[in-house]
Structure 1
Amino acid sequence: MTSSPTPSPGSEPHREWWRGAVIYQIYPRSFADTNGDGIGDLKGITAHLDHVASLGVDAVWISPFYPSPMKDFGYDVADYCDVDPVFGTLADFDALLERAHDLGQKVVVDQVWSHTSDRHPWFQASRQDRTNPYADWYVWADARADGAPPNNWQSVFGGPGWTWDARRGQYYQHNFLPEQPQLNARNPAVQEALLAVGWFWLDRGVDGFRLDAVNFMIGDPALRDNPPLPTGGKRTRPFDFQDKIHNQSSPDILPFLERVRALTDSYEGGRFTVAEVAGDHAAREMKAFTADGRLHSAYGFLYLYAERLTTDLVRTGTEMWPGDPGEGWPSWTFSNHDAPRAVSRWAEGRDERRLAEMLMLLLVCLRGNVFVYYGEELGLPQAEVPFERLVDPEALANWPQTLGRDGARTPMPWIAGAPFAGFSGVEPWLPIDTRHPAMAVDVQDAAATSMLNATRRLLALRRAHPALKTGTMTMLATEPLLVFTRRGEGETLLAVFNLGHEPQAWSAPDGYVPIDAVNLAEAGILPPLAGMLLRLTTP
């Protein structure tokens, strides 16, 4: 394997466009279908980039669109350097990239470097025998004396994290599905191959990478058993019983991330890297992965897996990133393709429309980058998907204990009166929830007080106030109201939210004037789900 190509250094200084950015996540299967197969595609994204630009976001993040058997709907990659025919072609991607750049939007793409599909040529070669050039590109191990897997590691989707392969007479590891074998990222040849993939997309013009499941990239070389977690907490799968200290979180991941950062820094224009980090030790890992000039940012599942939105939860997130010297930069999201939509998780019987608007204001007030998931600008609730239409392997494995991921991945409603809400001319790969067409883009675009237009207004706040983009954040109160300041570039802002179920009395301190507010009813009272942003006008 030859070393990865070296890109040409940029001639302009790197601009930190990403610091404090708003990034819009697109799940390509569900955004817009242009070829009539019921599955969204790249041309569909391109056709609707004007809508995305109208929100006022800085960038789009596109979930995987690479060739894949779709066992995990694109997160099982069979070719890192092409486009799956269901989504289009490389030329379609190039056209998407050009259109996004013309509209002033950056484009961030997923890189799934912890594992591949079992259909990837690397794995197909690796499994043939123990001596071929790719033999050590995946994590293989002999059985125990009794034929059992090498250790007790469990997979995220349920069952042992090992599958027997008769050709090699060994087990291969997989942290997710058996069809997603674990790469041996300790192997220098594997690292070079992954960096070459990064070069391919950076040279094509992408503006950054979201690194999927990055804390799973390297495990314990001794393959030691994971210890059990203390009893308590929600457990819906064997994976939840273990403290995953040996199959993830290795400090050996850090030097590779430094190489990734060196690669992106060698390109002009400020290319961006953000790690996805899930797990019991996510806070520690995110700090390590972004410290001292490694990746630019990281986000975890603090909000995504939270069953309730509380003031203490926001305090926890704030305290995770105090802004110490050498510290990386946080990213936050309330909804994505791996978690039920926030308005359904956190409504607790309250009005979902009011909740959606308050969540958007809260999101834009947090310190860090913010990710807005497609449909969040419409206030879409979690879709109801009947069991017979479920396709997500996690949803099927854990039904009915969890809401699953399918309900967060249903098609985007564009036109209320069109078949399938304007997403496609045929039955989509996931059904349209009966509540969603009435919330379609065309309906909300025409209504001045819609959630869509509220989103545009609230995202504009982030652009207009540097303190929201890059300023400090200081918690002032968490009971009964959430109150914090944002300070930076000569301005001081005060944010106050009522996350509870009862009205609370509150008056603005002297010197502060309102900039924006959601769900207010009368002066001096903050109803449930109300929020205000104020600016200090006197020293």
Structure 2
Amino acid sequence: MSSVSDQAPWWRGAVIYQVYPRSLMDANNDGVGDIRGIISKLDYIASLGVDAIWISPFFKSPMRDFGYDISDYRDVDPLFGSLGDLDELIAEAHDRNIKIMIDQVLSHTSDQHAWFQESRESRDNPKADWYVWADAKPDGTAPNNWLSIFGGCGWEWEPRRGQYYLHNFLKSQPDLNFHNPEVQAQILSEVEFWLKRGVDGLRLDAISFCFHDKDLRDNPAKPADQRQGRGFSEDNPYAFQYHYYNNDLPENIGFLEQLRALCDRYPGVVTLGEISSEDSLATMAKYTEGNKRLHMAYSFELLVPEFCARHIRTTVENLEASLNDGWPCWSLSNHDVVRVMSRWGGGFNPTLGKTLHALVAALRGSVCYYQGEELGLVEADIAYEDLQDPYGITFWPNFKGRDGCRTPMPWQSDAPHAGFSAEKPWLPVPDSHRTLAVNLQDQDPHSMLNFFRHFMAWRKQQPLLTQGDIAFDDAPDGCLLIRRSMADGQVMRAAFNLTAEPVTLQVPDQSALLPDSGLTGAELSAGQLSLPAFGGAFIA
């Protein structure tokens, strides 16, 4: 692949900080985070050295899926504030040279959206064909075997129409019918509302789910040995099928090209697609092909329980082999999966945590960090009676849902609710998070938080990491040796030991350590790079 030029757009190699607004900061003390809470923490976010903030949904919603069920695309839910607050957030972030990206949930709406309320009333109203409706089979059962990610049948009976409607997620999240050109045009109009308001990018939720198979063909069964979940519980029946007909349909490409053409009318705006399909890496390549679809895409391939250097290398190499002119975005945590410190570290491990921060930022592409990841937060253990996530409530106790990674940020170790709110928060703050609070880590020069700040400032000064090509050199089992290079011959290597034992790697004899990255404990002599357990190093 050719290296990115010096005139690369802002998002290539960018560091994006994901804010889950319910849980960052509660400014009005109602127990739920809000937009003014984000504004109050902009200086903190700026101190991290990130380029952009991705804000999970804040739109008007009945909150059955905590904002991913939108009832009005063009308004802020009163729980989070107002449009005026959002405008202020954009302006304040821009004053700090931080871009604002917002979630757009385009494949489905809430069942409380006015469009669905009209569509469900009859088969001949103006919105009758705006959602995916189908007749029952002769025996009254659902039109086909499609399933919901959140458990059970993907169809729900609607007595007003005497038909079923499709929901790939909760039954309160009916799927829009993108085969209808009116729906496509309306959705593009909803997106443009925010582009006109000055947002810098769109994170596109479940973007591969927009179209469905018009013939409603059954999905084929998947053999038991291939039921590997990516972003959903592996004991979920959803894993029992190949989702060929309700996800990643060819028609999706045409809509993505329309969406890109719209965004291109607003200079600097970027699109980042969340991809979950039968072959997510191939879909990422397809959806970013030709500089006329998505700018970037990410999948759940590194958001899995499997902690393995081989898996990381294979994932990156397979994507690079197919990506052509596309651009990846990598992440190790988000609001849908167990926090990486628990998933890969087995608990708080600051040495490993620092190494993982550096590892994902050493890959070619942009990178998303989820709020609290800079602190090394572990997954919270939420009691059943405190659960909020309908996904976890359905699959308890085998799968506890997503609440454990969504708990409020700990700002002040000794304050009520760790400084998040003066009132009882929507999810409890675990005691294990108090010891990792921002105020404590601020004071510790060796904390994960201060490492994160230092490393991100250093990375900005390394064009090889933000713009260079990528390849892997051979390394011992459990280790990665990443080579970043430029067309002019510049080379940097990043070495990572993902094992609990010290290890020695062979590197070129003329190599020299780059100590300013902030990673410590490595030694280099005559081409022998010694790394401590869970350690890392950059060399030139």
TM-score, length basis structure 2? 0.94
Aligned pairs, how many?
519
Question: RMSD across aligned C-alpha pairs, in angstroms?
Answer: 1.6
Unmatched tracts of structure 2, length 5 or more: 1-6, 229-233
Report which stretch shifted further, 131-140 or 451-460: 451-460
Q: Report whether the alignment pairs 1:454 with 2:451.
A: yes
- Residue 518 of structure 1 aligns to which amino acid in structure 2? L
Q: Who is 2:3 aligned against? A: none
- Residue 468 of structure 2 aligns to which amino acid in structure 1? G
Cα distance in 2, alignment partners of residues 333 and 219 from structure 1: 28
Q: Who is 1:227 aligned against? A: 220
Question: How much has 1:140 moved relative to structure 2?
Answer: 0.1
CA spacing shift, 1:45–1:138, aligned 2, 3 Å: same
Q: Who is 2:298 aligned against? A: 299
Q: How does 1:85-104 map to 2 (within 5 A)?
A: 85-104=78-97
CA spacing shift, 1:520–1:325, aligned 2, 3 Å: closer
Q: SS of the counterpart of 1:136?
A: coil
Cα distance in 1, alignment partners of residues 75 and 187 from structure 2: 14
Question: How much has 1:30 moved relative to structure 2?
Answer: 0.2
Q: SS of the counterpart of 2:513?
A: strand
Question: How much has 1:327 moved relative to structure 2?
Answer: 2.8
Q: Quick one: which of 311, 314, 329 aligns to 2:312?
A: 314
Cα distance in 2, alignment partners of residues 169 and 253 from structure 1: 29
Q: Who is 1:176 aligned against? A: 169
Report which stretch shifted further, 313-322 or 162-171: 313-322
- Residue 171 of structure 1 aligns to which amino acid in structure 2? Y
Q: Who is 2:235 aligned against? A: 236
Counterpart contact for 2:277–2:283, Cα < 8 Å: no
Question: How much has 1:518 moved relative to structure 2?
Answer: 2.9
Q: Who is 1:5 aligned against? A: none
- Residue 519 of structure 2 aligns to which amino acid in structure 1? V
Counterpart contact for 2:412–2:438, Cα < 8 Å: yes
Counterpart contact for 2:451–2:518, Cα < 8 Å: no
Q: Who is 2:251 aligned against? A: 252
Cα distance in 1, alignment partners of residues 520 and 135 from structure 2: 61
Q: Who is 1:518 aligned against? A: 519
Question: How much has 1:101 moved relative to structure 2?
Answer: 0.2
Q: Report whether the alignment pairs 1:342 with 2:340.
A: yes
Q: SS of the counterpart of 1:147?
A: coil
Cα distance in 2, alignment partners of residues 468 and 292 from structure 1: 23
Q: Who is 1:134 aligned against? A: 127
Q: Who is 1:528 aligned against? A: 533
Q: Report whether the alignment pairs 1:363 with 2:360.
A: yes
Cα distance in 1, alignment partners of residues 356 and 387 from structure 2: 28
CA-to-aligned-CA distance 1:501-535 (integer Å, 9 cap, x gap): 32212365322222235352666532221001112
- Residue 532 of structure 2 aligns to which amino acid in structure 1? P
Report which stretch shifted further, 290-299 or 318-327: 318-327
Q: SS of the counterpart of 2:495?
A: strand
Question: How much has 1:360 moved relative to structure 2?
Answer: 0.3
Counterpart contact for 1:477–1:484, Cα < 8 Å: no
Q: SS of the counterpart of 1:435?
A: helix
Q: Report whether the alignment pairs 1:66 with 2:59.
A: yes
Counterpart contact for 1:344–1:352, Cα < 8 Å: no
Question: How much has 1:373 moved relative to structure 2?
Answer: 0.4
Cα distance in 2, alignment partners of residues 66 and 124 from structure 1: 18
Q: How does 1:101-500 map to 2 (within 5 A)?
A: 101-232=94-225, 233=227, 235-268=234-267, 270-293=268-291, 294-304=293-303, 306-322=304-320, 326-348=324-346, 352-480=349-477, 481-488=479-486, 490=488, 491-500=490-499
Cα distance in 2, alignment partners of residues 113 and 331 from structure 1: 20
Counterpart contact for 2:282–2:322, Cα < 8 Å: no
Question: How much has 1:416 moved relative to structure 2?
Answer: 1.2
Question: How much has 1:280 moved relative to structure 2?
Answer: 2.5
Unmatched tracts of structure 1, length 5 or more: 1-13
- Residue 217 of structure 1 aligns to which amino acid in structure 2? C
Report which stretch shifted further, 497-506 or 238-247: 497-506
Report which stretch shifted further, 219-228 or 314-323: 314-323
Counterpart contact for 2:289–2:323, Cα < 8 Å: no
Counterpart contact for 1:354–1:519, Cα < 8 Å: no
